[in-house]
Amino acid sequence: MAQTVVGRYELRALVGKGSMARVVEAFDTVLQRDVAIKFLRSDAADPEGRTRFLREVRVAASLTHPNIVRVYDAGEDGGRLFLVTELLRGPSIAAVLKRRRRLTFRQAVLVTDRVLGALGAAHDQGLVHRDVKPSNILIGDDDRTIKLTDFGLAKSQQDAGAAVTRPGQVVGTPMYLAPERSEGRDATAASDLYSLGVVLFEMLVGRPPFKGRNLLELAVAHQQAPIPPIGRPDVPEALEVVMLTALARDPAARPPSAQAMREALRSAARQGMRRALATAS
């Protein structure tokens, strides 16, 4: 007999696992559909954190957007916190980059555009994602469906400080963390845009813009190191400007909103297309 969660979800294959959670494919026996279930590690949340997790998931479940992985359910089973979402069978951008090293100009623009749509919808509802990175961007079977996941761990902009499960613990992946976040300042919409700027750089170049031998060196690099050149003649200067603006160390110097960055991205993409056509003729 298949192992079930709360008597409803039949667990199937392991999809992936990380330092904070593991994701399992499952079947919802009530609604007769495939889903993904994320189980948080038992030591990843204290009692206060468990309450906060469930509250934040309820808020995230209210998000409805074609580029956001839908949250269906959340709860606790046998002492394990779990989150149920729609299941996408395609790879993450992290997996694609591992296989291809970098994306084409058009692919990078498409992914960035769709993620900006997702972030704009979240920010409009007062939510910040706080962990935008390649492994949280999923691709559908058609290679054009792009969805941002892990919104179950998003947080209201009114309550988006550094602490998540324990006081003093900063949420986010250091490689993609905005400078102000490593300093312990609150997460904002601008912090999400910075993280997406790092992702855009990695999609175009094949590696993130900053590195360090430890977390401290990496944080200092984000705060002080110069941004390396892209080194790709097929990438229009206007797109590089969009990326560099998102990577501004001062949050006030970044795009004023996800929608503003999306409009600038699309304008840059059109310039790139026109230049490509002119070169080909």
pLDDT at 265: 97
Amino acid identity, position 226: P
Per run of 10 residues, the mean pLDDT along the chain (length 281 residues) is 86 82 92 92 66 72 89 87 89 93 93 97 92 92 84 61 44 87 91 98 96 90 94 91 97 98 95 63 44
CATH topology of domain 4-86: Phosphorylase Kinase; domain 1 (3.30.200)
- Residue 134, by phi and psi: left (phi above 0), alpha (psi -120 to 50) or beta? alpha
Contact (Cβ atoms closer than 8 angstroms) between residue 61 and residue 72: yes
pLDDT at 210: 94
Q: Tell me which residues are annotated as active site.
A: 131
Q: What is the pLDDT of residues 166-200, one digit of tens each?
A: 444 555 689 999 999 988 888 899 999 999 999 99
Fold identical between 4-86 and 93-280? no
pLDDT at 190: 97
Residue 97: CB partners within 8 Å, gap ≥ 6? Answer: 103, 134, 202, 203, 206
CATH number of the domain located at residue range(s) 93-280 in this protein? 1.10.510.10
State the chain's maximal CA–CA distance in angstroms: 65
Map residue 207 onto helix, strand or coil: coil
Domain edges within the chain: 4-86, 93-280
pLDDT at 8: 95
Whole-angstrom Cα distance, residue 131 to residue 171? 7
pLDDT at 58: 75
